[in-house]
Amino acid sequence: MIELKDLCEDLKERFGAETSVKGSVCYVKVEADKYLEVAKFLKKEFDRLLTISAVDFIKESFFEVYFILYRFDGRVYCKVSTKVPRDEAEIDSLSQLWPNASMHERETWEMFGIKFKGNDMLKPLLTEEWTGPPPFRKDFNWRKYVAEVYRIPQAMR
Amino acid sequence: MAASVKALLKLFFRKPMTYRFPPEMPLSEFSRGRHVLDMEKCRGCGACATICPNKAIEMVERETEDGKVRKYPQIDMFKCCFCGLCAEICPTGALKLTNFPWLVAMDKKSYIMPPEELAKPPELQMPPMKVKPKSIVDWARARSLWIVFYFTGCCFLEAAPWASSGFDMERFGLLTKGSPRQSDVLLVGGYVTPKTLRRIVRVYSQMPRPKYVMAFGCCPATGGTYWDSYNVIKELDKYIPVDMWIAGCPPRPEPIGLAVVMAMDAIQGMGYQGKEEKVPEEVKVPYYEPKPGEKEMVFTVPFGPQHPASGNFSIRLRLDGEYIFEAEAVPGYLHRGFEKLMEYRSWYQNIMIVQRICVLDGASYELAYAETVEELAGVEPPDRAKYLRVIQAELSRIQSHLLNIGLIAKAAGFDTVLNVAWGDREKVLYVRERLTGSRIYDIYSAPGGVRRDMPEKLREDVEEMVKKLRPQLEIYDDLLLKNPMFKERTVGVGKVDRDTAVEYDLVGPNLRASGMGFDVRKDVPYEVYGDLDFKVPCYEEGDAYHRTLVRRDEIEQSLNIIEQAVDEMPKGPFRKKVPFFMRVPKGEAWHCIESARGELCFYMVSDGSDRPYRVKVRGPTFDSILVLLPKVLKGAPLADVPVVYWSFDNCPADHDR
């Protein structure tokens, strides 16, 4: 069994992480330079990587990049997140730790334009010949784009 | 072998599974179809136009008898998704949904319905079909239309029953052909992304003349639900001519029948040759060509997206002779950008879009969304709603597994089982429609509970369904799972051991077939699964055969769960009222449930406003199909690809979102 409280204490001590627990999920916030170290440490504690993705906080001008892990024994999830500046979005890749990490990073790169250092798979996954800005960024307005490209004026209604 | 023959004989002496055509009206008292408007009750407040997530409703002015000008709704049926939010919000009950599904037209503009049209009760008009044929060629052509299906999106799920035993299209002289070169009719089923459009144009240009195109569903006509997605084509007829439009989201299978009869009538009576061909030059069509200077027997073969067994998804295979030495998944044909679409809609409007992420098992997505919003907003649904949600989720699981058993049987060459399994699936869909109001897209779970109470007769319907399905499981055993020929095709094929399964994040039945008994319903219980008694079937071998076996066992367990839930149904309210335009407190939530394909998770961020700030959907197929499948296929012969592919039970719409 794993005690989420002990894990939180451990993470606080070793990496200076901000932690909180809600139900069976543990939320961990770390600095960008500790991101890969924390992932290496948690790789031993948790069994599988569920996803890697991002949130665009445009007002505060940063991306929150996060990954989520699960451990069968103890039945707990762990979300680790870090801040990446919006104008220079770059972070270490986790592809050396989990085999499915590079595919999730590929999608995040395509949708948010965040570069992952050490991931050699960064090419378009879901779109084809897309030339616009990364579509999931908050400053790309879909409805405006649809109104202009597909000529649907009610999109701006 | 004797068991298979016995099972076949049993089937032979049973009542046929096929429905009558034209069916007796009403088809079903519970389905959601065309609207009807009571002009006297309508106050013209415009609430319906505000809530409509598709902007299908426009308020138009009309002069009344006493000389006043009043506003009434005008509805474009080719934009509507038949979710019923407009009827739910209507303060006077003037706007209602009927159960009329027959919305077929050769001109899509004819279904922009002004209030006067909406006020009339709907009526079915069948074409006469007694017109004297113009020539023998037209007569013969009308009666042997061969169809090439291009299932671009969700509507596939309602066009498939049309081809199987329930609705039996072969009685109209229709035949499915995987190849466009022998086909007369191209049936486009669902939304079209730019990536898919290039392939559709290629298929269309390969068909012989005269060629006819039918567009199934609202999305090809106007963009439908995805009217504001950057990656969905809004009007298909800008690129290829479309002869027949069928409205619905998705339409029931019967309107395809009406469309076919109308097409036969036009071809036979008028010698209709299809609209003029115009394929724009700018739609580039990519070809796959082998690289020069390679060994003679080395090929690149794309499996899909226009392949009878692939769904709208592609795997690029590199073959040395018959054996695969390299494989790469090419997704994205169904990418609509759901996570961002949901940021543009309010918390309540999203209940209508969220199940469209994966058509094969939409109920689970509704459930996961509703639960995550409840966690964020701190709302606890009443007990009765929890039981109703469990019934809905399990019905969805059974129909999804039956669909998969049919597909893997087809992939291994057992067409009979395909027709039996998909015929049985109709029984489940019948109960599902009576509970939720729709066969495929329930729009049933909403934050705070469910949208309607359990109908009185549901108990009997469930009993009847269980009574019919339990003995059918033995028929699957006899015909398929104990059949030595099926075993030869699937045992030891596509093997995944336990450590690989965990490392590559396999979930659901696929993981349980590899010896890891992880099921969210048991391990991190939600709703009332903690109180219900059921087993989690688990096998060690991890091959295509045992993945199918897990699904068959799960059907049995789900039937048990439904029976228990109906028996133990508590009394009380079925929903807690939440405001239509509610605000959700600032925060984040990560929530997982067990869908038919495995662990499905939602991550949501709220900034305290009336719509989500960010939604992340972590679907169950992303890792298994995009990462693990190419690895498993390495070294396999080409003929094994469909079997391995369907044993993982892919839903391309889920990983593309």
Q: So what's the pLDDT on residue A2?
A: 61
Q: Where are the domains of chain B?
A: 35-100+112-119, 136-270, 338-656
Is pLDDT at A157 greater than 60 in this prediction? no
Q: So what's the pLDDT on residue B396?
A: 92
Mean pLDDT of B414-419: 83
Distance CA A67, CA A80 (A): 6
Helix (H/G/I), strand (E/B), else coil: B57: strand
Residue B399 — pLDDT band, cuts 50, 70, 90? very high
Neighbours of B213 (CB within 10 A): 23
| Residue A82 within any structural domain of the chain | yes
From chain A, pick out residues whose CB is under 8 angstroms from the CB of B234: 146, 150, 152
| Residue A150 within any structural domain of the chain | no
pLDDT tens readout for residues B97-112: 888 888 888 888 888 8
Is pLDDT at B608 greater than 70 in this prediction? yes
Residue B292 — pLDDT band, cuts 50, 70, 90? low
Of A58-62, B276-280, B590-594, the poorest mean pLDDT is in B276-280
Is pLDDT at A136 greater than 70 in this prediction? yes
Q: Is residue B57 within 8 Å of B75, Cβ to Cβ? A: yes
Which option is the CATH number for B338-656: 2.40.128.130, 1.10.645.10, 3.40.50.300, 2.70.98.40? 1.10.645.10
Q: So what's the pLDDT on residue A155?
A: 58
Q: Is residue B77 within 8 Å of B249, Cβ to Cβ? A: no
| B480 to B474, B495, B549: CA distances (angstroms) | 10, 20, 10
Mean pLDDT of B398-413: 89
Is pLDDT at B295 greater than 70 in this prediction? no
| Residue A140 within any structural domain of the chain | no
| Residue A155 within any structural domain of the chain | no
Distance CA B245, CA B221 (A): 7
Domain count within chain A? 1
| Residue A103 within any structural domain of the chain | yes
B328 vs A: CB within 8 A = no
ipTM of the complex: 0.89
Residue A153 — pLDDT band, cuts 50, 70, 90? low
Mean pLDDT of B441-453: 87
Helix (H/G/I), strand (E/B), else coil: B617: strand
Contacts of residue B569, defined as CB under 8 A and 6 or more positions apart, other chains included, come to B384, B387, B388, B454
- Nearest CA to A25 among A56, A70, A59? A70
Which is more confidently placed, B324 or B275? Answer: B324
Q: Is residue B489 within 8 Å of B480, Cβ to Cβ? A: no
Helix (H/G/I), strand (E/B), else coil: B191: coil
- Mutating which of A29, A51, A106 best tests the B interface, going by the most B Cβ atoms within 10 A? A51
Which is more confidently placed, B294 or B617? Answer: B617
Quote the minimal CA–CA distance from B504 to chain A in Å.
6
Distance CA B87, CA B338 (A): 25
Q: What are phi and psi of B58, to 5 degrees?
A: -125, 140
Q: So what's the pLDDT on residue B558?
A: 92
pLDDT tens readout for residues B493-552: 888 888 888 888 889 899 999 988 888 888 888 888 888 888 888 898 888 899 999 999
CATH of the domain at A32: 3.30.460.80
Q: So what's the pLDDT on residue B281?
A: 58
| Residue A65 within any structural domain of the chain | yes
Mean pLDDT of A14-25: 82
Residue A52 — pLDDT band, cuts 50, 70, 90? very high
Is pLDDT at B36 greater than 90 in this prediction? no
| Residue A52 within any structural domain of the chain | yes
Q: Which of 360-399 (B) contact A at CB < 8 A? A: none
Q: Is residue B151 within 8 Å of B407, Cβ to Cβ? A: no
Which residue of B231, B233, B614 is in closest CB contact with A127? Answer: B231
Q: So what's the pLDDT on residue B555?
A: 92
| Residue A122 within any structural domain of the chain | yes
CATH number for the domain formed by residue range(s) B35-100+112-119:
3.30.70.3270
From chain A, pick out residues whose CB is under 8 angstroms from the CB of B518: 72
Distance CA B208, CA B228 (A): 35
CATH number for the domain formed by residue range(s) B136-270:
3.40.50.12280
pLDDT tens readout for residues A66-121: 999 998 888 888 889 998 998 888 888 888 888 889 899 999 999 898 988 888 88
- Residue A63 sits in which domain range? 4-127
Q: What is the mean pLDDT of chain B?
A: 84
Contacts of residue A42, defined as CB under 8 A and 6 or more positions apart, other chains included, come to A69, A78, A80
